[in-house]
């Protein structure tokens, strides 16, 4: 095997090891209240990675990302633009549920971000889409304003990044849906462009 193939063959093992590490993590107080660590999942060679905020109640109970009401809406939005969940990777900024659906504090985010960083290094997506303010302010820019900057591309060394509204914001405020749907179209345009 040439080096690249060896690296590729090792990816599932590296990701599985990282998942095990995250599942044993006790680096912040959320480890005491979580039912499950929601590591993230999807295609290990995905070109597109979606990054949410952190597990909700259903995710905490099942250990899977975006499977509650927000996840159902996300699936619908995927379907509308022809994205198959099996072809993308989905992760969160924090891997454990914050009780009472509070925002994850900056401290929790900074403690947990090491897992997402490694996931990005292993999966090497070409595009990262932040779902909501928490993801965007954590990994694009601390001053990110989702209402003004959603749907705009930010070039990083190894990938393109953009943010759109979190599905839970869309459930609370359906007026935002048109903008979010347009962001998904912008995403598909970029994907088609880089696949040329
Ligand atoms: N909200 C998130 O940000 N992530 C999930 O996995 C579920 C709901």
Per-residue confidence band for 2, with pLDDT thresholds at 50, 70 and 90: low
What is the model's pLDDT at position 11?
79
Among the atoms of ligand 1, which is closest to the Cα of residue 166? 3
Tokens in use for 93? 């900024």
The closest alpha carbon to 160, from 192, 113, 115, 112, belongs to 192
Tokens in use for 108? 């929790």
Q: Is 53 in the pocket of ligand 1 (CB under 6 A)?
A: yes
Q: Is the pLDDT of residue 1 over 80?
A: no
For residue 178, count CB atoms less than 10 angstroms from its CB and return exposed for 0-12, middle for 13-18, buried for 19 or more: exposed
pLDDT averaged over every residue in the chain: 95
Q: Is 65 in the pocket of ligand 1 (CB under 6 A)?
A: yes
What is the model's pLDDT at position 3?
52
CA 31 from centroid of its chain's CA atoms? 20
Q: Is 70 in the pocket of ligand 1 (CB under 6 A)?
A: yes
Give 67-77 pLDDT, tens digit per residue.
999 999 999 99
Distance, CA 40 to ligand 1 centroid (Å)?
10
Give 103-147 pLDDT, tens digit per residue.
999 999 999 999 999 999 999 999 999 999 999 999 999 999 999
**Sheet containing 89-92: order of strands:** 41-42, 89-92, 48-52, 127-131, 160-164, 154-155
Distance, CA 1 to ligand 1 centroid (Å)?
39
């Amino acid at each position: 095997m040439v080096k690249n193939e060896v690296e590729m063959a090792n990816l599932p093992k590296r990701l599985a090891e990282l998942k095990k590490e995250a599942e044993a993590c006790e680096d912040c107080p959320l480890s005491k209240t979580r039912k499950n660590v929601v590591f993230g999942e999807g295609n290990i060679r995905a070109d597109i990675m979606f990054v949410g905020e952190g597990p909700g109640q259903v995710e905490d109970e099942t250990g899977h990302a975006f499977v509650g009401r927000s996840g159902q809406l996300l699936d619908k939005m995927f379907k509308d633009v022809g994205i198959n969940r099996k072809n993308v990777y989905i992760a969160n900024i924090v891997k454990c549920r914050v009780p009472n659906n509070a925002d994850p504090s900056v401290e929790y985010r900074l403690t947990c971000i090491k897992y997402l960083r490694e996931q990005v290094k292993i999966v090497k997506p070409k595009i990262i889409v932040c779902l909501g303010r928490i993801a965007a302010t954590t990994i694009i820019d601390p001053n990110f304003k989702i209402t003004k900057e959603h749907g705009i591309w930010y070039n990083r060394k190894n990938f393109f990044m953009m943010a759109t509204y979190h599905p839970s914001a869309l459930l609370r405020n359906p007026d935002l849906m048109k903008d979010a749907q347009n962001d998904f179209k912008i995403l598909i345009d970029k994907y088609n462009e880089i696949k040329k």
